[in-house]
């Protein structure tokens, strides 16, 4: 840590970063539950409304790879204040939107701010804290990253039942203003500006690559994997991404540094993080579907079922960070993944008679397991990177987690849907239901849906087991040698020889 960084207080900077991250993540999760109300109010179809989420994700996916360039080009203070200002303007658009076009514009502007904020958060923490202090700092940051998406559905469910969906954005507005004010007053510049040139072709390829994949995965959950739109999006994304990786690997000043994967612990923890993120989405998406469609619970009550787990994760995140500083990530991750795997397996045994209390307890224990491993795994990998590569490592980690989350969502929802359809068909073919009886058909649909959800959780279970096997190889690391510096040194030695 440089003397310049040590000269100012880290507390106010962390407060600004945590509030900024919390409000941007909360904003995303608030909208999901409110989509049906927005559809009714604006008279739009499900496919149109889906763009409010898909569009946000696409802009995020395009901007995150650019974050390493932005951090080298602009100061921390400039980036933070710009991100929060864009987010605030977008929120104002959304709060007063009277039609879909205005609301969509607001979501895109919000996403531009959020896309800058998320990688910046990790980079600031890695810059202002020493390796041995990062666990506690990342744990505090985890409060925002974990608590917000779990609290969002409960808060949103209550608001849309009693008020207009515009109120969701009225709540976000003052939080965004507070974050912006704190940023103007307390945010300091950390790190050094390298003034890199913009790699225009890299921007185009990364936009087509990550954007195409994210759009394809998102639409697969709606239209199925055999949709022409999905196939074309995934093909364009895959070709552009392969071209982007090859180009950036051999570029001396790449837009996104893929050579961070030369560091084994960063590579290992990135794979674990993707697997865990995909498994986590199974619980976040399938559990509310099960509780509302099968148990017949209201959005508020199904949201409240997730709240104890959210509170538990919020409490555990800084505690886990402090433990990480002392013992490292391996055993925290192993214990966390054992708990996560065991509870995920229990989710494969759901029935139409499962109780609400059982769901609350099981989900809370699963979230406790997740709280032991999410931030430690990410921090363990980032700790191996030299200071110069922190922006690239953060951008890479955030990008792959976003893609992993989109893939996990689309894949698991598709697995559930296909299994549900085949189960219902099997029951009808077997002659175990009177197709003319509406009540009997509804019962069969419920049974088929439960089978589909259980099947999707089986896939999530094996993802968790794979992550558990890899977690045993995690070890404590310190920043390694910068391969660029090492290459320069070797070149000098060969010239001298």
Q: What is the pLDDT along the chain (497 residues), one digit of tens a residue?
A: 444 444 457 777 888 888 888 888 888 777 767 777 888 888 887 667 767 876 777 787 777 778 778 877 888 888 889 999 999 999 999 999 988 899 999 999 998 888 888 778 777 877 777 777 777 777 777 766 667 776 777 788 788 878 888 998 998 999 899 888 988 887 877 767 777 777 788 888 888 888 888 788 767 766 777 888 889 999 999 999 899 888 888 877 777 788 888 899 999 999 999 999 888 876 777 887 788 778 888 767 877 887 888 788 878 878 888 888 888 889 999 999 999 999 999 999 988 888 999 989 998 999 899 888 888 888 888 888 888 888 888 878 877 887 777 777 777 877 888 888 888 888 777 766 666 667 767 777 888 888 888 999 999 999 999 999 999 999 888 777 776 655 545 545 554 55
Are 237 and 423 contacting, i.e. CB atoms less than 8 angstroms apart? no
Are 333 and 278 contacting, i.e. CB atoms less than 8 angstroms apart? no
Reference 153, options 296, 346, 285, 5; nearest CA is 285
Which residue has 């991404």 as its token pair? Answer: 241
Q: What angle do CA 396, 398, 403 make, to 5 degrees?
A: 95
Are 287 and 416 contacting, i.e. CB atoms less than 8 angstroms apart? no
**Tally of CB atoms within 10 A around 228:** 8
Q: From CA 367, how far away is CA 152, in angstroms rounded?
A: 15
The residues near 98 (Cβ < 8 Å, ≥ 6 apart) are none
Are 67 and 119 contacting, i.e. CB atoms less than 8 angstroms apart? yes
Q: What is the pLDDT of residue 4?
A: 44
Give buried/exposed letters for 48-60 (b at 16+ CB in 10 A, else e).
ebbbbebbbbbbb
Q: What is the pLDDT of residue 476?
A: 83
Structure tokens at 12: 């106010």
Q: From CA 205, how far away is CA 399, in angstroms rounded?
A: 14
Q: What is the DSSP track for 65-99?
A: GGHHHHHHHS-HHHHHHHHHHHHHHHHHHHHT--S
Are 395 and 64 contacting, i.e. CB atoms less than 8 angstroms apart? yes
Q: From CA 337, how far away is CA 377, in angstroms rounded?
A: 11
Secondary structure, 3-state, 413-446: HHHHHHHHHHHHHHHHHCCCCCCCCHHHHHHHHH
Q: What angle do CA 96, 102, 104 make, to 5 degrees?
A: 115
**Tally of CB atoms within 10 A around 122:** 25
Structure tokens at 338: 């054992």
- In angstroms, what is the C-alpha Rg of the chain? 23
Q: From CA 56, how far away is CA 58, in angstroms rounded?
A: 6
> What is the distance of C-alpha 102 from the center of its chain?
26
Q: From CA 23, how far away is CA 285, in angstroms rounded?
A: 21
Domain ranges, ordered by start, for the chain = 1-194, 198-252, 260-497
Q: What is the DSSP track for 257-310?
A: -GGGGGSHHHHHHHHHHHHHHHHHHHHHHHHHHHHHHTS---HHHHHHHHHHHH
Question: What are the backbone dihedrals phi and psi of residue 130, each rounded to the nearest 5 degrees, phi first?
Answer: -70, 160
Q: From CA 127, how far away is CA 239, in angstroms rounded?
A: 35
At the topology level of CATH, where does 260-497 sit?
Answer: Growth Hormone; Chain: A; (1.20.1250)
Q: Regarding the domain with residue range 1-194, which homologous superfamily does it belong to in the CATH classification?
A: MFS general substrate transporter like domains (1.20.1250.20)
Start-to-end Cα distance in the chain: 35
């Amino acid at each position: 840590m440089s003397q310049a960084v040590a000269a100012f207080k880290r507390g106010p900077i962390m407060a600004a970063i945590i509030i900024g991250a919390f409000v941007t993540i909360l904003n995303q999760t608030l909208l999901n539950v409110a989509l049906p109300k927005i559809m009714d109010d604006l008279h739009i179809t499900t496919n149109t409304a889906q763009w409010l989420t898909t569009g946000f994700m696409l802009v995020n996916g395009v901007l995150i790879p650019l974050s390493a360039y932005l951090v080298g080009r602009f100061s921390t203070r400039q980036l933070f204040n710009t991100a929060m200002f864009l987010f605030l303007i977008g929120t104002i658009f959304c709060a007063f939107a009277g039609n879909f076009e205005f609301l969509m514009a607001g979501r895109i502007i919000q996403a531009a701010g959020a896309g800058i904020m998320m990688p910046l958060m990790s980079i600031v923490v890695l810059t202002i804290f020493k390796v041995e202090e990062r666990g506690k700092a990342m744990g505090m940051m985890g409060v925002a990253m974990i608590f917000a998406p779990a609290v969002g559905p409960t808060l949103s469910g209550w608001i849309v039942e009693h008020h207009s969906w515009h109120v969701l954005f009225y709540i976000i507005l003052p939080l965004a203003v507070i974050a912006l004010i704190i940023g103007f007053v307390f945010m300091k510049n950390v790190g050094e500006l390298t003034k890199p040139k913009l790699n225009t072709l890299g921007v185009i390829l990364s936009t087509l690559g990550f954007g195409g994949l994210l759009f394809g995965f998102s639409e697969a959950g709606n239209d199925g994997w055999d949709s022409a739109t999905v196939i074309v999006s995934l093909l364009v994304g895959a070709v552009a991404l392969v071209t982007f990786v090859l180009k950036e690997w051999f570029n001396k000043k790449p837009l996104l540094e893929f050579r961070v994967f030369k560091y084994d612990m960063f590579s290992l923890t990135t794979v674990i993080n993707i697997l865990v993120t995909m498994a986590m989405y199974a619980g976040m998406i399938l559990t509310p579907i099960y509780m509302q469609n099968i148990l017949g619970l209201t959005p508020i009550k199904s949201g409240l079922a997730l709240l104890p787990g959210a509170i538990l994760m919020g409490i555990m995140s800084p505690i886990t960070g402090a433990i990480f500083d002392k013992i490292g990530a391996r055993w925290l991750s192993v214990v966390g993944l054992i708990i996560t795997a065991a509870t995920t397996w229990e989710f494969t045994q759901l029935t139409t008679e499962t109780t609400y209390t059982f769901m609350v307890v099981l989900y809370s224990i699963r979230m406790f397991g997740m709280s032991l491993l999410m931030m430690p795994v990410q921090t363990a990998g980032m700790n191996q990177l030299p200071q110069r590569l922190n922006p690239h490592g953060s951008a890479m980690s955030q990008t792959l987690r976003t893609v992993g989350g989109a893939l996990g969502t689309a894949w698991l929802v598709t697995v559930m849907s296909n299994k549900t359809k085949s189960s219902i068909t099997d029951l009808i073919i077997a002659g175990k239901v009177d197709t003319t009886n509406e009540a009997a058909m509804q019962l069969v649909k419920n049974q088929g849906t439960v089978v589909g959800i259980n099947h999707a959780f089986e896939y999530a279970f094996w993802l968790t087991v794979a992550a558990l096997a890899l977690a045993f190889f995690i070890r404590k690391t310190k920043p390694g040698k910068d391969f660029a510096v090492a290459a320069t040194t070797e070149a000098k030695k060969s010239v001298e020889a």
